[in-house]
């Protein structure tokens, strides 16, 4: 699936702009990106919403367990990929017919969010159980709402085209050819709403999300991380150790210095241990100096 939005709907995120500036790379315009998608998917369906939005999807190469779907209702457009485990109970909650599928449910859930303000967006997405990614665009308010599940079973990426459009897609290679290094994986368990104007974690809504430069060999230019660990390590009350925790790239479970699960996690873990070791050596040297002074 593919969603393309002009800067009047969604200004390009500063983090993706900076990522593209650090490593300039070839890009194409939003129109060419859409043309590439349609050329690669002969049965694709595309919808143009005014002058600022292009939506497209295809059933080509989709998973039977995580299908793609599209629907429009009351000027609310939705692209949905995945499946909800609690679809039945949610249909009852929102008063939908038994025949309603995930994409119709998301439209109804978004309407609840919009019409019952200040209903927290994280509550709407947090009630979804399963594997999913979706793009909702409300033409009546020019609002964009995007989210992915906490397990990242359905990939979603976002980037900036040569003419400054923000594009979302489930195909990283498609966006890489159009957005260069102004590209990142959309962080799992997070949502973006133009009504709020920022990216947030719906699992940990109070935690800040930050972007760090990706390594040169990676296809994207930045990685978005959910920060939620600021740890004071006794017996070093004056030494503050900040550990950046990103569920998608570090794999920690929210506890200090648990065994990490991948290369980036091990690097950060080793850095933490190194900092602790340096602090111990520093305090040991200070104690030795104090001991010598006291003897005199």
pLDDT, tens only, 234-277: 443 333 443 443 333 343 333 344 444 444 455 555 555 565 56
Domains of the chain: 2-204 (3.60.20.10), 228-295 (no CATH)
- What does the pLDDT look like over 93-119, one tens digit per residue? 888 999 999 999 999 999 988 887 666
Instruction: Say which residue the tokens 């967006």 belong to.
Output: 121
Per-residue confidence (pLDDT) for residue 271, from 0 to 100: 59
Give me the torsion for CA of 120, 124, 125, 127, rounded to 10°: 120
- What does the pLDDT look like over 67-95, one tens digit per residue? 999 999 999 999 999 999 999 999 998 88
Exposure b/e, 126-136, CB count within 10 A at least 16 = b: bebebbbbbbb
CA 233 → CA 8, 112, 115, distances in Å? 46, 44, 46
Q: Structure tokens of 47?
A: 């919808």
Q: State CA 230 to chain mean position distance.
A: 22
**Could you give the percent of the chain with pLDDT greater than 70?**
75
CA dist 105 and 112 (Å) reads 11
CA dist 143 and 10 (Å) reads 9
- What does the pLDDT look like over 214-237, one tens digit per residue? 776 677 888 887 765 444 344 433
Q: State CA 289 to chain mean position distance.
A: 50
Per-residue confidence (pLDDT) for residue 115, from 0 to 100: 86
Q: State CA 78 to chain mean position distance.
A: 18
Q: What value, to the nearest 5°, has the Cα angle with vertex 222 and ends 264 and 62?
A: 90
| Secondary structure class of 82 (helix, strand, coil) | strand
Q: Provide the 10 A C-beta neighbour count for residue 282.
A: 12
CA dist 128 and 80 (Å) reads 13
């Amino acid at each position: 699936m593919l969603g393309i939005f002009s800067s009047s709907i969604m200004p390009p995120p500063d983090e993706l702009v900076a990522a593209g500036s650090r490593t300039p790379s070839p890009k194409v315009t939003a129109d060419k990106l859409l043309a590439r998608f349609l050329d690669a998917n002969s049965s694709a369906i595309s919808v143009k919403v005014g002058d600022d939005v292009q939506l497209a999807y295809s059933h080509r190469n989709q998973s039977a367990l995580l299908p793609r779907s599209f629907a429009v209702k009351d000027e609310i457009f939705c692209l949905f990929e995945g499946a909800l485990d609690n679809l039945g109970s949610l249909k009852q909650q929102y008063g939908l017919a038994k025949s309603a599928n995930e994409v119709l449910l998301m439209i109804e859930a978004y309407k609840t969010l919009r019409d019952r303000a200040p209903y927290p967006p994280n509550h709407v997405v947090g009630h979804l159980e399963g594997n999913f990614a979706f793009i909702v665009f409300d033409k009546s308010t020019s609002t964009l709402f995007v989210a992915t599940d906490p397990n990242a079973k359905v990939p979603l990426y976002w980037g900036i085209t040569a003419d400054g459009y923000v594009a979302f897609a489930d195909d990283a290679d498609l966006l890489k050819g159009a957005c260069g290094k102004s590209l990142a994986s959309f962080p799992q368990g997070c949502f973006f709403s133009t009504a709020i104007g920022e990216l947030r974690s719906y699992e940990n809504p109070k935690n800040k999300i930050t972007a760090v430069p990706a390594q040169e060999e990676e296809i994207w230019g930045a990685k978005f991380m959910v920060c939620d660990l600021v740890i004071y390590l006794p017996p070093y009350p004056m030494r503050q150790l900040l550990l950046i925790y990103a569920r998608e790239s570090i794999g920690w479970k929210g506890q200090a210095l648990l065994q990490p699960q991948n290369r980036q996690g091990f690097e950060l873990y080793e850095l933490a241990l190194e900092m602790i070791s340096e602090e111990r050596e520093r305090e040991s040297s200070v104690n030795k100096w104090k001991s010598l002074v006291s003897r005199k």
